[in-house]
A and B are shown apart, each in its own frame.
Chain A
């Protein structure tokens, strides 16, 4: 059971990575990165799942099986850091768009390269 569900979350990570590389729009790349982050932490929590887990709160009585608290704690900090990094990268995207008036990454690269060559010559 846990094998199957963690396999599906690995597929979601792969879909997110494919979107990150193949999309040209800067904001779509950020959204794909967000998908990769969410799917990775999903994988972390799903890998130690066995059916019949309860929340690790309270005292463990007889026969009650608790979920594993370690990946949950590791993943909590990861969620917060993800959204901090997302806010910062959105800021830089806004700066880029204001300067170059386009969201297409290839056009921005072309213009930056041209500016760099003009400055150097």
Chain B
């Protein structure tokens, strides 16, 4: 008996598998099998159409063609509002640490010394920023939306920082004015969410509807844009030594 168990342990040790690893993998396999079996049983996936009502009602607003925008911009705007708040908190957490001595700031001030990169980045970044803006403003007409538009705009500004130098760009986009714009935009989104409780959804259907839609678009896009730029600027300044 004892010799059987010891050879089993030797085999395990030879292939670097310990009992703890097997236990963890076993638990995960049980969880996966349970979920997959639950998918097949009980009607299966793809049978339900949860968003059927949103599809039916959302597209009767004359200004909106994108049903997904109808869901996150109109019917479930509170979700979007709180997501913006969470994102603000994450960006706040990063900017608080900006005076920490993490990693080395690059010796050349963040500029790349190759001429090809600086020249091509100089005329490429407006295209990218404008494309991001276009995506943000046409959220209700086609695919895109404020989130993707904001991230693309922020990454375009990173290209600008590569072209002109990270320090100089950081000085132009000053931190206090960025913070003020960010909180103002958050206040705009909050205003729309609160006003929606008083005015009916007919606001979206009338002439004032497009203005409200565009304010929603702008607020999401600006928030994500400033947050993305703050994160990228922090990481460029403090290049880690990992």
Contacts and interface: CB of A to CB of B under 8 A. Distances in A.
Interface of A: 1-3, 6-7, 10-11, 13-14, 17-18, 21-22, 27, 46-50, 55-60, 66, 68-74, 76-77, 79-81, 84-85, 87-88, 90-91, 93-95, 97-98, 103
B86 A81 contact: yes
Nearest to B220: A80
B66 A57 contact: yes
B102 A3 contact: no
Contacts of A87: 90, 94, 231, 235
**Candidate in B31, B45, B65, B71 with the most chain A CB atoms within 10 angstroms:** B45
17 contacts: A7-B39, A10-B32, A11-B32, A14-B29, A21-B24, A48-B51, A49-B45, A55-B143, A57-B67, A68-B50, A71-B50, A77-B83, A84-B90, A91-B97, A94-B240, A95-B100, A98-B102
A80 B86 CA distance: 10
Interface stretch (B54-62, B106-114, B156-164, B184-192): B54-62
Contacts of A76: 68, 72, 145, 147
Nearest to A21: B24
- The 5 tightest CB contacts between A and B, nearest first, are A2-B46, A70-B51, A84-B90, A73-B71, A56-B67
A57 B231 contact: no
Nearest to A78: B83
B28 interface: yes
A48 B97 contact: no
A18 to B, nearest CB: 5
Contacts of B54: 69-70
A105 to B, nearest CB: 13
Nearest to A94: B240
B196 interface: no
Given A7-B39, A49-B45, A88-B90, 14 more contacts: A3-B45, A6-B39, A17-B28, A22-B24, A57-B67, A59-B65, A68-B52, A81-B83, A90-B235, A93-B240, A94-B241, A95-B102, A98-B101, A98-B102
A66 to B, nearest CB: 6
Nearest to A1: B46
A79 B222 CA distance: 17
A84 B29 CA distance: 30
A23 B179 CA distance: 38
B87 A68 contact: no
B55 A60 contact: yes
Given A18-B25, A55-B143, A69 B46 contact: no
Q: Taking each of A58, A84, A88, A93, which has the highest tally of chain B beta carbons within 10 Å of its own beta carbon?
A: A84
B242 A73 contact: no
Contacts of B79: 73-74, 77
Nearest to A56: B67
Interface string B202-219: 000000000000000000
Contact of B68 (A69, A91, A95): A69
